[in-house]
Chains A and B, each alone.
Chain A
Amino acid sequence: MKGIISLLSGLLFGFGLALAQMTNPAKIIDFLDFSGTWDPTLALVMGGAVLVTLISFRFILRRPHPLLGGGFQLPRRSDIDIPLIAGSAIFGIGWGLGGFCPGPGIASIAQGSWEAVVFTIGLAGGMLAFRFLGRQPDSCFQ
């Protein structure tokens, strides 16, 4: 059952990204270009998504456990450290370079874009490289 929810959640996420045209890197690069041709669409996408999570997460996290059992797998850390800032800074450089963050990059495979496939291979490679070079056995995502 949890697998069906994961698939459904992925479907809604991918549909939303494509509907918002976040799968077109030109829209991302234009959003990040405040000094030239600015496309504010991404701000509304984030706004729409955060509007929902701000309300729904308040109610969900009051529950003792998720509807389908198990525990909530939330990020445990609350401190602001150097890797958080340095990692996010490196991510931002890659984001500005290609106009892809992970979600839209992977979803763009659906439009048969060779660049999206290459980006996704690089994404996986970069993650594996961080684990390997940093000798990090555990993920800090959750």
Chain B
Amino acid sequence: MSGPGPVGPGAGGAPALRIESLGVTVPGPAGPVRVVEDVSLRVAPGETLGLVGESGSGKTMTALAVMGLLPREARRVGTIELGGTRLDTATERDLERIRGRRLAIVFQGSLGVLNPVMRVGDQVAEAIRVGGVTSAAARAARVRDLLDLVGIPDPARWAHRYPHELSGGMRQRVAIAMAIANEPDVLIADEATTALDVTVQAQVLDVLRRIQARTATAILFISHDLGLVAGAAQRVAVMYAGRIVEDGPVDELFAAPHHPYTAGLLAALPRLDGQRPVRARLGAIPGQPARAGQAPAGCPFHPRCAVAKIPDPCATRRPEPAMAGDGRLVACHRAVEIAAGTLDPGPGTGGEPGSMAAPLPARSAPRGPDGEAPLLTVEGLVTTFPVRTGRRRRPAGRIEAVAGVDLHLHRGEALGVVGESGCGKSTLARSVLRLVEPDRGRVLLGGRDVRAAGRVELRRLRQRAQIVFQDPDASLNPRMSVGTIVAEPLRIHGRWDRDGPARVRDLLQRVGLDASALHRYPHELSGGQRQRVAIARALAVGPDLLVLDEPVTALDTSVQAGVLNLLADLQATLGLAYLLIAHDLAVVRHTCDRVAVMFLGRIVETGPVGEVFDRPAHPYTQALRSAVPIPDPPVERARRRIILHGDPPSPLDPPSGCRFRTRCWRADDRCATEVPALADRGGGHPVACHHPGPGPEG
């Protein structure tokens, strides 16, 4: 975001928001839990402060504390000052007067963020009324203005609708409209774009930028996504286990992090821009983020830290935040050494392998297409679903979730399928395995026709291809122990014998869990561990192909890296082929050899990852790539963004011809009448577009 903004805490001018030594305690099963401890932040007018943290870091609690919306049982200490007004000592009535007027918040988007039984326009009008506008006509006009400002087309019409009639992106924009209705001094965005598609996210961020430019609002931008923060903020504060571990100007913090946790987070990110050498291991931080109240003594990060001095001082004394030059605040015992450059805090952002990282092993199985038939061939696959409206069970039509897809996958190869929500990639994954019955098309697995297979044949085929799901919570039977879960496929196929238990133990070890996990139950494991169990289960019957449906999306960044490394290791040692479904382009870039980009049921571009991501030919791929944030602030700021107009078309009523044409800046009449076929049009890899070619970003 543009706007100079002061750099460094406490520098020049009165801050719009000042937080000093904030602490929040909530009651827990074993006594009170400190979810936020000694947090101090400052945001100047017109500035954006990024607050970064994983789950359990306390960042949302901090936001709630500022707003005065903590749960009843929570206790708070510390000072909160909004441009001279003390919020921590204010009464509830005072706070009510401040909320919505001088201080506003946008929460993480969900279906429930707006009142479902109230019209959208009325809800925005409510926010305006809070600002003291008494005339209904004036309010109605302002509602239209606000909706227009946040980029909702045809505001008069949409104001009469109910929230469930709007898409996720539109609802979030309405939420922003409500928040800025009275031009607050401070706006808190708490994971405001997390639930949105990447292209919609870019639109929403654009709205925030424009608003800030207009009214010099101070923004506290909370996110777990370092890439987002790199482009959005001038200063960044990193939280871990309820405390601030590092706080400084964005460029310096990203280029040379002083805290091992920050360094670890940056190293754990897969990069879309290929800044990492091919097959470099991600810097995974062992363990999982400390839950509030379970932080160990001393520095909360020390059990996971690559450079911790144990036992003293890192395991005994808590590090206090201290200035570390260039306007930075770091809470680390070894900060001085790190700042001086004599100590490497961990794997750096440049992709150089640190002491923890060793390069991944080269692939063992050859994967040339010459001579060898593909392991998986998909031709003309079409899968449709009946549409059920309201509560009546009468179908009102069919959605073409997969509208004619061709792809192939060789043994030992990794193919990524990317797209935004509703593009049909999950359905594609399930259709290939016949977990969902396709309507038309051919699926050949190892030469055998999957669709034509009878019951017995299908069961046999199931041993050759397995699936790992997105949500590790829901994909494990809560009433079965880990050992039983992993053994289940063996039992189903009658392969459970005396060697069974040994095999299960071996599988668990392979995925990085130790034998004690055998008797644990899913609820005792963390998200990353559960996902590893799911992988072990998928490997039990020794498949050749692993279908992975968003395998790391539900995991924290630091945990995600570990699972991605595991997947790479397994592929190398077992010669597995992967069909990886993801919406995160960086993950696909890091893990896969080839990629297919999907839009509304069709593949629009496919080819080797380097080619497609560095030289995309299809406008949609270009827009996607442009929307993905890169955790490199100078690069982020310099990027030219492609902001798509309007909303993604509905799968219920796809546009004729090329389905992307309603959002495409190159579309013409031909695009409306003729469906572009997927073919190599001179770019080196197949594209489905009538006007392929380099985009504005080059």
- The answer to whether A binds B is no
A-to-B contact residues, CB < 8 Å: none
B-to-A contact residues, CB < 8 Å: none
